[in-house]
Amino acid sequence: MYLIAIINAIFVAIKAVVVRYSLFPFPVPCSRFPIPDSRFPIPDSRFPTSSSFADPKHPSIHPQYN
């Protein structure tokens, strides 16, 4: 009984040291807070994309259609 508690305490202490000093050589994936992937940027609505100007009669391209 005490042996299991001691082993459990050792594992908890090792985990605390690893987490505290970031001894992992790679980021540990977490499903609640996923690491953003720079290959797939989050679209920002403040910056128009090419689809915003897909209409050839769009006023920003042809002011005569205002």
- Residue 38 located in a structural domain: no
Is 39 within the bounds of a domain?
Answer: no
Residue 57 lies in a domain: no
pTM above 0.75, yes or no: no
User: Which amino acid is present at 48?
Assistant: P
pLDDT in tens, 9-42: 998 888 877 766 665 555 555 556 566 666 666 6
- Structural domain contains residue 42: no
Q: Is residue 17 part of a domain?
A: yes
User: Cα(38)–Cα(5) distance, rounded to whole angstroms?
Assistant: 44
Name residues whose C-beta falls within 8 Å of residue 56's C-beta, 6 or more positions apart in sequence.
62
Residues 11, 15: Cα–Cα separation, whole Å: 6
pLDDT band at 1 (very low <50, low <70, confident <90, very high): confident
Do residues 51 and 43 touch, judged by C-beta distance below 8 A?
no
Residue 47 DSSP code: S
pLDDT digits (tens, 9 = 90+) for 37-56: 666 666 666 666 555 555 66
Split into its structural domains, the chain has a count of: 1
Q: Residue 18's domain spans which residues?
A: 1-25
Has residue 37 been placed in a domain?
A: no
CB 11 within 8 A of CB 19: no
Looking at residue 15, its pLDDT comes to 81
